Amino acid sequence: MNAAANELPTYVLERTFDAPRDLVWRTFTEADLLARWYGPNIETVIHQLDVTPGGLWLVEMKMGERSGYQRIEYSEVKPPERLVWLQSNADADWNIAPNPMMADWPLTLLTTVTFAEENAKTNMRLTWVPHEASEAEIACFAAAVQGLDKGWAAGMAILEAMLAELQVE
């Protein structure tokens, strides 16, 4: 069987940006630009950014009193078309740590981002795959991936039915 790698659940996110590829690349690799978009409506502090193979991106996201920390280690850097990194939650000392909300969330996700230019626009494709994950982590991520894509529509329908039922009770 050569399917081992293919059997891993994968989450795919695709997006087209109305900008040339070189510019999109800069927003992913220059700290002052990265800090301006990474993290939704929260203060993002980039403590370290070294976009080279083996280099680290250490990022703190301030959410009120609380901070979330992410540790990212680059494994492949091919300007301006491909970035590969290993992404983990971290503690305040930048040690890899389990997700505080879900113990079985994969400790490390292999992230691959590719950029393709077409008619002065840039198509970005970002994928996540559990990295060196346990069976429990893979199962947890697989269930979540089903939820993250259109499969969750069925779950949502169930949820709506349940919520309606609860309100009757």
Partner 1 sequence: MESISYAKSEPNLDAVFAALADPTRRAILSKLAAGEASVKDIAAPFDMSQPAVSKHLRVLEEAGLVARGVDKQRRPARLKAEPMAAAADWLAEFKAFWSESFDQLDGLLDDLKRAEKKGTY
Q: Which of 2, 3, 6, 65 binds partner 1 (CB under 8 A)?
A: 65
Q: How far is the CB of 5 from partner 1 (least distance, A)?
A: 19
DSSP 82-141: EEEEEEEEE-TT--B---SS-TTS-SEEEEEEEEEEETTEEEEEEEEEESS--HHHHHHH
Q: Which of 4, 118, 165, 168 binds partner 1 (CB under 8 A)?
A: 165
Count of residues touching partner 1 (by CB under 8 A)? 45
Q: Site residues for partner 1, window 84-113 (CB under 8 A)?
A: 100-104
By CB under 8 A, tell whether 33 contacts partner 1. yes
Helix (H) or strand (E) holding 142: helix 135-148
By CB under 8 A, tell whether 46 contacts partner 1. no
- Binding segment (CB under 8 A) for partner 1, from list 16-24, 52-60, 71-79, 80-88: 16-24
Q: Give all strands of the β-sheet with 82-90 in edge-to-edge order.
A: 11-17, 121-130, 108-118, 82-90, 66-78, 56-63, 43-49
By CB under 8 A, tell whether 155 contacts partner 1. yes
| Length of the chain counted residue by residue | 169
Q: Which of 12, 45, 153, 161 binds partner 1 (CB under 8 A)?
A: 161
